[in-house]
Amino acid sequence: MPLCQCYNRQMLRIIFKRNPLLVLIGGFVSRLGSMMQSFALSLYVLDTTGSGAKFASVLTMTMIPRLILGPLAGILSDRVSRKKTMVFLDIASGIITLSFAVYLTLTSSTSLIPIYIYVFTLTTISVFFEPSSMAIIPDIVTKEELPAFNSAMQFLSFFAGFFHRLLQVYCTVLLVF
């Protein structure tokens, strides 16, 4: 049997299993949402301050937790329940995002401090979430399905980035013209 046919069958088996499908869809939605939120928040800072430097400083806040906490996150993901970690961090992310949205709605503050705290906190959550989400994959697919699943994950990650860029261009054109 040609490799292509075997690979396609593995992909179809993965797509029709509940847990792998949920992980694939959840990962896609999460990546796309994070990218869009980062873009929207950056535009918000640029719009309210008019400063490219402040715009860049918000983006810089996403790098600090990755540099400092990245190695620790990998170690912790191997020592605690991956599923519980993912559920807890998803809930925490939702609560923090909702709280930030309410804060922005109720205040007219243009201070960047709450934005820095929000971006830093969500990036920290992401730093701890990602190793757990990657480490759980061998628990939900067979060894034979692992290459096809990893390929699907990479494709969806690429597609989320591509779709995000298209939306960025569309939004930028709408704002500029």
Max CA separation in the chain (angstroms): 64
Q: What is the pLDDT of residue 3?
A: 46
What is the distance between the alpha carbons of residues 108 and 48, in angstroms, rounded to a whole number?
11
For residue 35, which amino acid is it? M
Question: Angle at Cα 121 formed by Cα 43 and Cα 102, nearest 5°?
Answer: 65
pLDDT digits (tens, 9 = 90+) for 126-170: 889 888 888 888 888 888 888 888 888 888 888 888 888 888 788
User: Averaged over 67-88, what is the pLDDT?
Assistant: 87
Tokens, residue 65: 């937790």
Quick one: CA dihedral 98, 103, 105, 109, positive or negative? Answer: negative
pLDDT digits (tens, 9 = 90+) for 24-52: 888 888 888 887 887 788 778 888 888 88
User: Which pTM was predicted?
Assistant: 0.76
